[in-house]
Amino acid sequence: MTTTPSASDELPGTSMTDEDYGALRAAASLWSGTSVLITDQRGRVLVEHVDYLDTCLLPGGAVDKGEAPSHAAARELREELGITTTVERGLAVDWVSADRFGAPSAMRFPGEILYVYDGGTWTDAQIAAVRLPGHEIEAIECVEPARLPDLMAPGDARRALSALRARINGGGTVLLENGLPLAPTVLDTTRALSTARHARHYPFDPGPVPDGLTVRQSWGWLFAPDGRVLVLLGPDGEGACLPGGTSEPEDRGDPVTTLIREAAEEAAAQLGEPLFLGHLTDPAEPYARVRYAATLTSVGPVRPDPATGCTYVRVLATPEQAAELFDWGPSATHQLAAVHQARERLGIPRAARRPFTELTDPTTW
């Protein structure tokens, strides 16, 4: 009978039969499952309402014996949503401990490894093409990420948010334990997307502000030399914003002055000469919100915003990553096009997607 070297936690010099070694490993086995993170064009997460739970789930299910997890994910999409596709990009691998699942004792749940795959961003037409099986899946819904903890079991919500943050961050597949990342990114530590985003579906006009329309707010896409832009994150889930804000009397009605003042107050940021991008209008309110692009020249020490007392976390991200933190509706595409036109005029390269970088120290470019 052959013998197998002992596992690393066995006493040195001992050995085990193949049968004993197999029994040992089988006793430590875990379940294996998959889920697929799908978002709509507004960045909302697709969840399933099922008839066997009072909480929602991401599409997915158990991995069958001998089945690759990615094949299981594709099979579940076909069975649950009637969609035939492949899943090739992993977002997260989650170790779920036996004591955190809350399974009935009769189930003898041993723990589970769950693979979360990126199902991509689906158009309205793709979502309309979903065909439910007539059992188990009662309905699907695209929901604001901040609603996931209200709709899903706690571990499922943590896993889904961690996977969504990993997708936006662009740093590759993350390892989770009970839904939480072993190496949290700045999106995790600031609890990005845990507060509902405001729906700002205002039309974007690249032209000048019409005469007689008051400019109330001024915001900026501020470029670092590598083509990424400055984004401000609330330190405890308050959400994200671009540098900028509301005009004050000392600005004397000059939106450029407003932008320069707000960037200095919120982010200790100094910038070059701004380029006008366009404006947004809210049909319910008779004023304009203007957008500019400019180069970042420096950021000083981190300090609280004197107007709010909030100490923002300053990060660099691609314009596309920044837009994923907002709910701007269809106008986001038009605004991003204007941003990249201005970037080219400023002589700044287009940034490749990469993980968010936090700016903690004073920097001069």
pLDDT at site 101 = 67
Amino acid found at 98: A
**What is the pLDDT, as a whole number, of residue 70?**
97
Query: What one-character DSSP code corresponds to residue 146?
Result: G
- Per DSSP, the three-state class of 125 is helix
Q: What is the per-residue pLDDT for 69?
A: 97
The pLDDT of residue 20: 81
pLDDT value, residue 54: 95
What residues contact 193, with CB distance under 8 A and at least 6 apart?
145, 146, 161, 164, 165, 187, 325
pLDDT given at position 9: 53
DSSP string, 190-259: TTTTSSPPPB--PPEE-SPPPTT-EEEEEEEEEE-TTS-EEEEE-TTS--EE-SEEE--GGGTT-HHHHH
Q: Mean pLDDT in each 10-residue stretch from start to end of the chain (365 residues)?
A: 49 70 78 96 97 96 96 98 95 90 72 95 97 95 98 97 98 97 98 95 95 94 98 95 96 96 98 97 90 98 94 98 96 96 98 97 96
CA–CA–CA angle 275, 281, 284 (5° rounding): 160
In terms of DSSP H, where are the helices of the chain? 18-27, 69-81, 124-128, 148-151, 154-169, 186-189, 255-267, 319-323, 331-345
- Prediction pTM value: 0.92
Which pLDDT does position 13 carry in this prediction?
43
